[in-house]
Amino acid sequence: MNCCKADRNSQTNVLMLGLGDAGKTQLLYSWSNHKFIETTPTIAFNVETIYHQNQRIAIWDIGGQVMIRKYWHHYFQNMKAIFFVIDSTQRDFKFIQEAKSVLLNLLNNQILAKVPFLILFNKTDLNNSFTDEEILEEFYLSFDQEQISAQYAHQVKVMRSSALQRDYIEEILSWVMEVTKQKNRK
């Protein structure tokens, strides 16, 4: 099986969003370059194409700073899935409230209705990252996909990730392919 051949006419577009310094760009480059790369804050966007299951997945990483978030809606069109990345080491109350607010605004956005969401709690390789129980308590998010999807008009999954250790990449990319296949069948 050739990892890099794909149907040139088919591409799955995924939008990666989250607050600034969540580790979105590091995740993107870790997945596309197969190694951890130090990055600087994204001022506009980065896009990388990853081949998985003989399919092309274009992941659009958009900066998460407040001044950039007002432009996010320009990228919503033609996206097959949304990755929302949260820094799982950031325990500041104000940060948690802001992350919840931004996520809820996206989940309730009519333009994104029925677009699958993958909520990634990143930086799980660090000792002070949220536990599953803390994620449920602080963000009201369950790792039970059916339970969380029932709350919103989306298919929603919550997972952990680490750009440094490249944890869960296979499961993340397989999830994207599965939900987009399901969506195309409907």
Q: Tell me whether residue 131 is annotated as binding.
A: no
19 is in an annotated binding site: yes
CA 83, CA 49: separation in Å to the nearest integer? 15
**Residue 23 assigned to a binding site:** yes
From 67, 63, 68, 73, select the one nearest 17 (Cα to Cα): 63
Q: Is 63 assigned to a binding site? A: no
Amino acid of residue 101: S
Place of tokens 């802001």: 98
Q: Is 25 annotated as a binding residue?
A: yes
DSSP states of 63-96: --SHHHHTTGGGG-TT-SEEEEEEETT---HHHH
12 labeled part of a ligand binding site:
no
Q: Is 20 annotated as a binding residue?
A: yes
The whole-angstrom separation of Cα 40 and Cα 53 is: 30
Residue 64 marked in a binding site: yes
d(CA 154, CA 159): 16
Residue 89, annotated as binding a ligand: no
The answer to the question of whether 58 is labelled as a binding residue is no
User: Which pairs with CB-CB distance under 8 Å and at least 24 residues apart come from 64-71?
Assistant: 64/17, 64/18, 64/19, 64/20, 64/21, 64/22, 64/24, 65/20, 65/41, 66/20, 68/42, 68/43, 68/44, 69/102
Residues annotated within a binding site for Mg(2+): 25, 42
Residues at the annotated binding site? 18-25, 42, 64, 122-125
Cite the annotated binding site for GTP by residue number: 18-25, 64, 122-125
